[in-house]
């Protein structure tokens, strides 16, 4: 298992709205560039979209990619 890759994906989903939507719509395709096990992919497919969106909404807007200076 690559906990680091999972943490990167979740972190990216929180700050990057476009990636978050891709992850929610099709986790396997969104995560194609990451080294993940089948178990990790299944877990990412089960992410609760509403909770992820709600958490992202609590962040300072300056941390969001949509603020124009994103991390990714």
pLDDT of residue 67: 53
pLDDT of residue 71: 47
63, two tokens: 């941390």
Specify if 31 maps to a domain: yes
Domain count, the chain: 1
Q: Which of 61, 72, 69, 64 is nearest to 17 (CA)?
A: 64
pLDDT of residue 69: 47
Specify if 72 maps to a domain: no
Per the structure, the complete domain to which residue 25 belongs is given by 3-59
**Reduced DSSP (H G I as helix, E B as strand, rest coil) percent helix, strand, coil of the chain, to 5:** 70, 0, 30
Specify if 16 maps to a domain: yes
Specify if 52 maps to a domain: yes
pLDDT of residue 30: 97
Global pTM value: 0.76
In angstroms, the CA 37 to CA 15 distance is 24
Specify if 8 maps to a domain: yes
**Residue ranges for the chain with pLDDT beneath 70:** 1, 60, 63-72
Do 11 and 70 touch, CB atoms closer than 8 A? no
């Amino acid at each position: 298992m690559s906990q680091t890759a999972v943490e990167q994906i979740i972190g990216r989903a929180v700050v990057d709205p476009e990636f978050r939507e891709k992850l929610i719509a099709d986790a396997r395709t969104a995560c194609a560039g990451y080294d993940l096990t089948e178990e990790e992919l299944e877990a990412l497919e089960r992410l609760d979209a509403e909770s992820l969106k709600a958490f992202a909404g609590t962040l300072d807007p300056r941390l969001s990619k949509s603020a124009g200076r994103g991390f990714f």
